A and B are shown apart, each in its own frame.
Chain A
Amino acid sequence: MDARADSPLAVQAEGVRKSFGKTEALCGVDLSVPRGMVYGLLGPNGAGKSTVVRILATLIRADAGTALVDGVDVARKPATVRSRIGLAGQYAAVDEYLTGRENLEMFGRLSGLRKADARARATELLERFDLTDAADRPSKGYSGGMRRRLDLAASLAARPPILFLDEPTTGLDPRSRLTMWSVIQDLVDDGTTVLLTTQYLEEADRLAQRIAVIDRGVVIAEGTPAELKARVGGEGLEVAVVEPADLERARTILSRVATDEVFVDPERRRVRAAVADGPRALADVAGQIAAEGIPTEDVGLHRPTLDEVFLALTGRPAEDDDGAAATDEGSG
């Protein structure tokens, strides 16, 4: 654990490159993750998030660049790195034929704990992750949310100071997602550093103190959620009118509170604009619309979606692997 004191950063990556055949997955990624926080790595499918995590977790080697985890070089001392990290999420699984308890004991022992310690730790983790009732059933029968919690618990067996969570809530129902969020928050309160990848801006916003936005193998923006949202234009206010003829009047009303240009979408009969103080702008606009008697279908605030973040940062919509526009991202 000596090396910990040497490095103020939990993760430090410089110029990390990785290609798979002819596909360049990472084209020079730089990353600095301070200790004791949730750091979000945000991007669409195929952006390179998982590749970053896999390199940091020593599962694959970078073609070029350096990466230090807990101050230790992942290429030179992968075995040391492995003793300081936990990995959970879409690419790290539990054994579905073993019970929850057996899984935790096995992963604990393989992380270097002695049998008695692994057993005690398993009991503790089962309790903490609300899995005690299901502890002695094979994990095959667990719900999606329970399995993710077990998966996360397994990565914590040896109390690693740094945790990589690769899309920990993708595919979970909203309630399980909330549970995972509070679990992750608890971890950081205990002093763990969490590097979390996600395709949901909402998730990064809610959990992360800092966010790096990654696209096509490059970090295109970095900062606190507030900084990033400011770059996208903050919250948006949208008005849907009933009559296309009212679009122009709605535009005028909206332009009084907008911090930027007002977008008009004649097809969907909507106008929208970025606003600074959302609730107040909403009240103002709703009041004026009522005063002018414009019939509307909807007046509301919406948070910037990942698509809008991408649009703002890259000038093009977020795309996934095969180039199809990722239309539903950020909506979950």
Chain B
Amino acid sequence: MTAARALRDSGIIVWRQLVQLPRIPEVLIFSLIQPVMFVLLFRYVFGGAIATPGESYVNYLMPGIFAQTVAFGAVASGIGLAEDLRRGIIDRFRSLPMARSAVLVGRTASDLVRNAVVVGVMYAVGLAVGFRPEGSIGAQLVAFGLLLLTSFAFSWIGVVIALSMKTVEAVQSAGFIWLFPLTFASSAFVPTDSMPGWLQAFADNQPFTIVVNAARALFLAQPVGNYVWLTIVWMVGIIVVMIPLATRQYRRRSG
């Protein structure tokens, strides 16, 4: 199977997913409702009680929301794939002389497009509730790039979860359960120095905090330190581990 064929077949799967998107408005709407709800809750309910020295809370919050939004996109990737498995469409794909990698690459790549749209909308929502990013256009674009890299990495985690579970319901629960501790025990919503020492040690060093810190520094024109490089290393690392894992499971698995 040539690389050209793999690329072509992946492109066809991306086309399939993107044609579906406006026909299943629930997916896009629910991808948006949740982060919008989090913005409103944290901006107006908890925000007043959270101290973020040197920065307004809404400025502090929004990069965390963007990162959480793309991370939660992993669940949608997993559920979409689990649905395909359940319906038997994956069996049909596997019976065709198409590139084996195309179904998974096509799905994760199209989820990247969906997440880009969702983050774009969330950026506008942020502006509406007082988010005032001071980073240069270039820096903010780099931040977007890092978020999309994160989206791609997390989608692959969602795919691996989907291929490991037997039912769509299991994928739904298992897909969310690890994301809550990961996104909340991080710098996304509160500065980590308010956490107990043991938790802070985890929160400061886990990859999600690193993504949030990188994005926050870039959006708010703060010093980025090593966060950009660390983000790239973490996310590329996740992708490099997850792709072979997912591909192997895909070969073996069928509805």
Contacts and interface: CB of A to CB of B under 8 A. Distances in A.
Interface of A: 54, 57-60, 79, 82-83, 85-87, 90-98, 102, 106-107, 109-112, 138, 154-155, 158
A313 to B, nearest CB: 31
Contact of B1 (A60, A79, A90): A79
Given A60-B254, A93-B87, A111-B97, A106 B12 contact: yes
A233 to B, nearest CB: 38
Nearest to B21: A97
Contacts of A90: 88
Interface in B1-36: 1, 9, 12, 15-16, 19-20, 23-24
A229 B224 CA distance: 80
Nearest to A54: B254
Given A93-B87, A98-B16, A59 B96 contact: no
Contacts of A85: 95
Contacts of B93: 110
Contacts of B102: 110
B12 A82 contact: no
B146 to A, nearest CB: 31
A85 B92 CA distance: 11
B187 to A, nearest CB: 38
Contact of B91 (A87, A102, A109, A110): A87
A87 B92 contact: yes
Interface of B: 1, 9, 12, 15-16, 19-20, 23-24, 87-89, 91-98, 102, 254-255
**Which 6 pairs of residues, A with B, have the shortest CB-CB distance?**
A93-B88, A83-B97, A87-B95, A82-B97, A92-B92, A110-B98
A154 B89 CA distance: 11
A93 B85 CA distance: 10
B96 A95 contact: no
B85 to A, nearest CB: 10
A107 B92 contact: yes
Given A59-B91, A93-B88, A93-B92, 9 more contacts: A54-B91, A57-B95, A91-B91, A91-B255, A92-B95, A98-B16, A111-B98, A112-B98, A158-B97
Contacts of B98: 110-112
Given A106-B12, A110-B9, A94 B97 contact: no
Contact of B96 (A82, A91, A97, A98): A82
B131 to A, nearest CB: 34
A63 B114 CA distance: 41
Nearest to B98: A110
A199 B89 CA distance: 23
B254 A59 contact: yes
B64 to A, nearest CB: 33
Contacts of B94: 58-59
Contacts of B19: 97-98, 102
A53 B87 CA distance: 17
Contacts of A111: 96-98
6 contacts: A83-B97, A106-B12, A106-B15, A110-B12, A111-B96, A111-B98
Contact of A110 (B23, B88, B96, B255): B96
Nearest to A84: B97
A53 to B, nearest CB: 10
A89 to B, nearest CB: 9
